[in-house]
Amino acid sequence: MSDRMFSVVGLIGMVGIAASAYLVTDPLAARGIVTLLSAIPAIAAMASSRRVIVGHTIVAIALACAVAVTVAHGFAAALVSCTVSVTVIWLPVFMIGALRRSLVFTQSRYRELAHTDPLTSLPNRRGFLDRIERYHRSYPASTGQMGFLMIDVDHFKQINDLFGHSAGDQTLRSVVAAIARAVGSGVLVARSGGEEFVAFFAASDLNEVEALAERIRASVAESCDVTVSIGAISCELDDHPASPEMSLGELTDVLTHRADALMYAAKAGGRNTVRCQQLPRMRVNLVHGQPSDVSRPALFEIGTSAVDPVH
């Protein structure tokens, strides 16, 4: 039920309850009926907006006090009845509202944990897709150009085999710290799995994408005991209504596939290096606020006009 519909139904219900209490000749019975007014604001506190909750609470208190003044014998009795009515109506609303806020906070916390890699505190794949949608709101690509990096730690399996997984975990943390020193606040970095990381950012051209990839490579090589191989993609997004639809999840799948191929080319070329590629314009349906569906395959095929990998 929408807030508007609930407001209409709730108002009718409260007026009906107040009228019933007024028509009852027994004052005790009238006060008992008045307590039923607390049910509707309490129900509103479970799921309605703050404006609806406050509005229903005020109306319920006003009706309860009006009935109390009408049926009470004397000022003292009316004052006591009004005080009791306000308490009976306000207290359940407050308690349910507090429980609702606690539940929302808990859900938000669990959602954040589900979207975060516990080792590096970076977003995981699910969190990366979720943050890409918010990234497009915060950093609208006015030029339509963006960059995507696939970063893989070289010879990472040997570290785990020779020194143990604790040493491998510490290596990943040091790599994340080196990446953080190389990128700015406008770069979205996530752990895609194992020793692989991805980065998504607005970029004016392929040179800017390559420059950031080189900064990351150099930062890791200078401050860590390992090196990284990077596949770098630059492309232009076309968000035109007449374009074939491709969700953000599908876009990420395609970019990951292409950058992954470039990253393996960098490893085959000697590791500790960067391979870059310019992709043709992609027709993307950037529908904000909807969860990305990563289970669907890509709905398009990139042509062969992409620039051959360099470096």
Using the structure block, give the residue that is written with the tokens 């509202």. 97
Q: Are 119 and 195 in contact (CB under 8 A)?
A: no
Tokens of 206: 């392929």
Catalytically annotated residue among 195, 208, 222, 236? 195
Active site residue 195: yes
Strand partners, 190: 198
Distance in angstroms (rounded) separating the CA atoms of residues 13 and 52: 15
Query: Which position has the token pair 């794949």?
Result: 125
> How many residues would you count in the chain?
311
Please report which residue ranges of the chain form alpha helices under DSSP H. 3-23, 27-34, 39-47, 50-71, 75-114, 125-138, 156-163, 165-182, 206-223, 248-268
DSSP string, 163-200: H-HHHHHHHHHHHHHHHHHHS-TTEEEEEEETTEEEEE
Rg (CA), the chain: 30
Give ∠ CA 287-291-293 in degrees, rounded to 5. Answer: 95
Active-site amino acid positions: 195
